[in-house]
Structure 1
Amino acid sequence: MRMNALFMPLAALLLGAADLPGPGEPALTPQTARSGGPVDPEQAKLAFDAADLRFEVFPAEERIAGVATLTFTARAPLARLLVDLDRNLPVSSIMIDGAVLPASAWANPDGKLTITLPNRLAAGGRVVARIAYGGTPHVAVKAPWDDGFVWAKTPNGRPWVATTAEGNGCDLFWPCLDFPTGRPGVATLHITVPAGLKAPSNGKLLGVDTLADGRTTWNWRVKHPTTYGIALNIGPYEQLSGDYKSRFGNTIPLFYWYLPGEEAQARRLFAEFAPTLDFFESEIGPYPFGDEKLGVVETPHKGMEHQTINAYGNGYTKAPEGFDWLFQHEFAHEWFGNQLSARDWDDFWLHEGYATYMQPFYGLWREGDARYATMLDDERNKITDLRPMVSGASRTEEDVYRIDRGGPGQDIYYKGSWMLHSLRWLIGDRAFGEVTRLAVYGRSDPKPGNFTPHFLTSADYQAIVARVTGKDYGWFFDVYLRQAVLPDLLSERSGGMLNLHWVAPGGRAFPMPVAVRIAGRTVRLAMTDGTGRIAVPAGAHVVIDPNARVLRRSAAVEAYQAWRDAQKAR
């Protein structure tokens, strides 16, 4: 009933709206369109303790109303709060520590809501801001490749609503700190939807309240959510549920919300949850959010790694590898993205490279070497080598994704995956597993409850490799992360010898070992100074890197890509 009273004035106003927004509307300011990049110095002073987020969603009008209660602790003295919020969602009132502010105390001309505090806050001081807002949120053109609300209909004409925010950020529908380290310690969500609809969301369900007119409010709580990982999903869902007995001794609730009429397909997908979870727990470590849930929801867009409520829109597509690639990829992000988070978007390969590598790695775990090699070969043909994967400067998410802005684009997926494949061969399975656990959990002995989300940079990851192996692999990361061009392995047979020589971009040292098969016998050459020699009997057949363990330049792949691109351009 309090929700009813809270939203009634804005709800009545919105019901009078005539025109619905189209894809890409309303337009975003450059401030709202960007997510991440250099952190505003005043926002850097804020530790984000908690967010209590109340939403009411009006599918018929394609509008929302919200009240966000945000709790911060000051790391340094500050006189105002700066939070990110799309100006298309105008603020109607703000309270600071229970006191109503005059409208003159805040402004939001470009998407960064500036709130002047009644009193200067000392370092260590705490402040609670209650922000009431609402309006027409930005509509996605083609989610999840762009962001915003997706207002759709189910096959039988019922409302079907979803949000995505990875590229443009959380400020599309709630006031937040829109950069990777801007996570709140805890977020509580109260989502009010029309009668007959459900609202699965992040974290643990606290309960569902039914209002007098049949609307329901779904109450959720999630710890340490990624800012872009908070999601609204609304529809006439049906639900599958079960429990998974983890190898770590805890019990994890499993949930899948799907559209009516799809039970048979839904059950087949749901059957993949447990074996996929077992793979990740056996090869990486404990599911990071086992005390909340493993949640998946069917969405009118392809998919996204929304923490504990991964979006799934793959249409139950079959694939030769025998598992749903999209479910598996988004689920991988619970470890690589939601638990291990890049400190800056410049290090986005830590999310996508690892999640992409987990596909062939899962194929290896399920079926063995042939499946692993087949899946990796498909990824190899998608590497472009147009830009370095890491620039060394703070970047927005779009700066990384867009090649026209100097970003690596899809190489954070496929080149990142192949780099990890090469690293695993270079340092060995045991060391690679230890590196991955330290990167994900910040410790080598993860158990349920003894870790929290872990922020990392590429330099941090490189340091972890050095710590585990006792060796400096700066040469490896300098070439694969910080250079666009792949190393080239030159070979020459002369005088009964095979001579090998690495040519790396900029003349860099590249002492990458390589396997050579000679007349059916395979040896590993150390290539200590970037060169190697081995005797080859006359007439012996030689295969260099017979199991394709090393990411290197391939003239055949380059020729294929040029032909493929020319065919597409016709």
Structure 2
Amino acid sequence: MALAALFCATPVAAQESPRIAERTAQTDIPLEGPRGAVRLPQVTLAITVAPEGRSISGRAVMTVQPTEQLEQLQFDLAPRFTIDAVYVGEQSVDRSDYANPDGLLTIDLPQAIPAGEPVEVTIGWSGQPHEAVNPPWDGGIVWAETPEGQPWIATAIQGEGCDMFWPCIDHSSVRIGTLDLLISVPTPLVAAANGRLVWSHEVDENTVWHWQARDPNNYGVTLQIAPYEVAERDYESRFGNTIPLRFWHLTGNEEGANRLLGEMADQITFMEERFGPYPFGDEKAGVAETPHLGMEHQTINAYGNRFRPESNGHDWLLQHEFAHEWFANQLTHASINHMWLHEGITTWTQPLYLEWARGEMLYDAEMWRQRQRVWSRVPLVPPEGELPDYNDREARWGDDIYFKGSWIMHTLRYLVGDEALFPAITMLTYGTHDPEPGNLAPVSRTTEDFRQILQDSTGRDLEWFFDAYFYQAEMPRLDVMQDGDMLTLRWHTPSRLPFAMPVEVRIGDEVRTVAMADGHGRIELDWPSQPYLVDPRNRILRYDADVEAWQNRDPAQ
């Protein structure tokens, strides 16, 4: 389609912003009907951004491949947008044959599409997208200004999904084969986006930026717009490929951006050594300075931590979002119920990186800081069909996917050892034990996938571990009872399975291990009043009354 045709829609004028629709506010609504019966091998999105009206307009040209015969197509799109046109192939769809009253855009097809037969579908839309209230946690589009008063725009849609600003199938398991993203912004603004830059051209008073990405996940498709400058360097990988490192930053932040590119190079060295190759080295490792804190957009992570130095020598936000290139963008959860795979493993990479870069003390210090934010009031993996609420401050699931997930990985490290755990994570992430650049494709995973892979790696049945930590709300509790010189240890969990977590006990200068095969065990002291310490290296995630009391303290006191 010609460039002029792609940008034929006119942005609407500014108007009062309606409330976000219920369906649009929730990502990963189960795939049912036509939404679950299509593949998207190629999508072209041409989006015009009008900062003065806080509006966008666009054309989506999608190659749709049905997996079964379809008489309808369905896409997710916020109902606040006006649908300007719908085409199936070259045929215009009459206005009476499509509707989007609640955010489920349903198109009655002129004729049924057979299974496996690709068809080109074009959707034009325009309007004012929902403005983020507290990005990135309560998301949408951020309309801000630089210190010089120029437009500074970002998208942050993790919890809400891609339908916040473009027609898509809003589910974590859906990938686009190839995405061409053409973003038109007023000159001299720069649009930084996913993948590799194909070209940029001035069209009238706008500049069009053409980006192309392979296999993007939907919520990672992003617009980052500002009068950016670019800091750049290249990284020579241990795998023999060269990775372009790019940082789009505001004027005056060149020194900080170059410093963080150096940190990113170190982080690649660590991540590739521990887990495997950077998954998108054929495109770039990119960062864009944003007016909100940050988010993991594939190959163009959002960074808003203001280049502040830290006592441990690295920028935690840069490291966290960059680790998501492995655990979110290469490995993607099959549904939001398994979001801990993104956030928990990524959060664990922070103490791991500190251990690698600065030593064991910083690993332990970071793990203890994280332990204080484990709440465990609801299951970490909710039942299928039950959509969790990230922002529920009572349930605290939005904390646990980070910090409980990280502590579970810490405990697994103790249980199975590095020699089993890290190869299992590589298999989980790439689908192979021997990943190589140029031969990588993203994978979609569940918590049960992880269990099966880890069981294959260890040769052990770990259902008891996964049931207690992922599917039960209450953390395991360890009772320790003494009778004379005999200690009896007993685990308690809501699980139907005995919690067979071995427990270390330090007696004098010796650390002994109690097997706990059926959830309880015994160990003898040398004399009844001999001091002892259970779990002396704090390796096991378990209920801690002191942590709970601290969490429940009155903040006014």
Smaller-chain TM-score range? over 0.9
Corresponding residue for residue 200 of structure 1: 192
Structure 1: give runs of 5+ residues left out of the alignment. Answer: none
Q: Residues 136 and 507 (structure 1 numbering): CA distance in 2 closer, same or farther, change over 3 Å?
A: closer
Structure 2: give runs of 5+ residues left out of the alignment. Answer: none
Corresponding residue for residue 228 of structure 2: 237
Q: How does 1:146-185 map to 2 (within 5 A)?
A: 146-185=138-177
How far off is 1:26 after superposition? Answer: 2.5
Asked if the contact 2:277/2:436 (under 8 Å) is kept, the reply is yes
Asked if the contact 2:7/2:46 (under 8 Å) is kept, the reply is no
Corresponding residue for residue 449 of structure 2: 460
Corresponding residue for residue 368 of structure 1: 359
Percent sequence identity is 42
Corresponding residue for residue 10 of structure 2: 10
**Which whole-Å CA distance do the structure 1 matches of 2:197 and 2:133 have between them?**
31
Of stretches 324-333 and 261-270 in structure 1, the one that deviates more from structure 2 is 261-270
**Which whole-Å CA distance do the structure 2 matches of 1:227 and 1:517 have between them?**
49
- 1:519-568 superposed Cα distances (whole Å, 9 cap, x missing partner): 111122211122222221124331111110111111111121122xx125
1:381 aligns with 2:372: yes
- 1:191-249 superposed Cα distances (whole Å, 9 cap, x missing partner): 111111100100011111122x3421110111111101000011000101111110011
**Which whole-Å CA distance do the structure 1 matches of 2:44 and 2:175 have between them?**
13
Q: Secondary structure at the match of 1:464?
A: helix
Asked if the contact 1:292/1:308 (under 8 Å) is kept, the reply is yes
Corresponding residue for residue 285 of structure 1: 276
Asked if the contact 2:6/2:58 (under 8 Å) is kept, the reply is no
How far off is 1:495 after superposition? Answer: 2.9
**Which whole-Å CA distance do the structure 2 matches of 1:484 and 1:190 have between them?**
45
Asked if the contact 1:51/1:70 (under 8 Å) is kept, the reply is yes
**Which whole-Å CA distance do the structure 2 matches of 1:552 and 1:180 have between them?**
31
Corresponding residue for residue 544 of structure 2: 554
1:436 aligns with 2:428: no
1:471 aligns with 2:460: yes
- 1:473-520 superposed Cα distances (whole Å, 9 cap, x missing partner): 100011000111111111123332222221222564111011111111
Corresponding residue for residue 245 of structure 2: 254
1:274 aligns with 2:274: no
**Which whole-Å CA distance do the structure 2 matches of 1:507 and 1:394 have between them?**
22
Corresponding residue for residue 338 of structure 2: 347
1:225 aligns with 2:219: no
**Which whole-Å CA distance do the structure 2 matches of 1:260 and 1:52 have between them?**
31
1:525 aligns with 2:514: yes
**Which whole-Å CA distance do the structure 1 matches of 2:83 and 2:381 have between them?**
38
Q: Tell me the C-alpha RMSD between the 2 structures.
A: 1.7
2:119 aligns with one of 103, 127, 148: 127
**Which whole-Å CA distance do the structure 1 matches of 2:195 and 2:405 have between them?**
29
Q: Secondary structure at the match of 2:149?
A: coil
Asked if the contact 1:348/1:400 (under 8 Å) is kept, the reply is no
1:306 aligns with one of 276, 292, 297: 297
Asked if the contact 1:26/1:139 (under 8 Å) is kept, the reply is no
Residue identity in the other structure for 2:94: P
TM-score using structure 1 length: 0.94
1:136 aligns with one of 117, 125, 128: 128
How far off is 1:303 after superposition? Answer: 0.5
Q: Secondary structure at the match of 2:352?
A: helix
Q: Secondary structure at the match of 1:505?
A: coil
**Which whole-Å CA distance do the structure 2 matches of 1:103 and 1:5 have between them?**
20
Asked if the contact 1:39/1:179 (under 8 Å) is kept, the reply is yes
Residue identity in the other structure for 1:485: E
Corresponding residue for residue 24 of structure 2: 32
**Which whole-Å CA distance do the structure 1 matches of 2:255 and 2:386 have between them?**
44
**Which whole-Å CA distance do the structure 2 matches of 1:352 and 1:7 have between them?**
37
Corresponding residue for residue 543 of structure 1: 533
Residue identity in the other structure for 2:133: V
Corresponding residue for residue 504 of structure 2: 515
**Which whole-Å CA distance do the structure 1 matches of 2:65 and 2:234 have between them?**
37
Number of equivalent positions: 556
Of stretches 427-436 and 495-504 in structure 1, the one that deviates more from structure 2 is 495-504
**Which whole-Å CA distance do the structure 2 matches of 1:498 and 1:367 have between them?**
38
- 1:448-476 superposed Cα distances (whole Å, 9 cap, x missing partner): 12221111111111111111111111000
Q: Secondary structure at the match of 1:94?
A: strand
Residue identity in the other structure for 2:117: G
Corresponding residue for residue 87 of structure 1: 79
Asked if the contact 2:467/2:495 (under 8 Å) is kept, the reply is no
How far off is 1:407 after superposition? Answer: 7.1
Q: Residues 274 and 448 (structure 1 numbering): CA distance in 2 closer, same or farther, change over 3 Å?
A: same
Asked if the contact 1:401/1:409 (under 8 Å) is kept, the reply is yes
Q: Secondary structure at the match of 2:138?
A: coil
1:76 aligns with one of 68, 82, 86: 68
Corresponding residue for residue 327 of structure 1: 318
Q: Secondary structure at the match of 2:33?
A: coil
Asked if the contact 1:345/1:400 (under 8 Å) is kept, the reply is no
- 1:249-294 superposed Cα distances (whole Å, 9 cap, x missing partner): 1111100000001122222222211001111000010011110110
Of stretches 375-384 and 124-133 in structure 1, the one that deviates more from structure 2 is 124-133
Q: Secondary structure at the match of 1:433?
A: helix
Residue identity in the other structure for 1:421: H
Q: Secondary structure at the match of 2:505?
A: strand
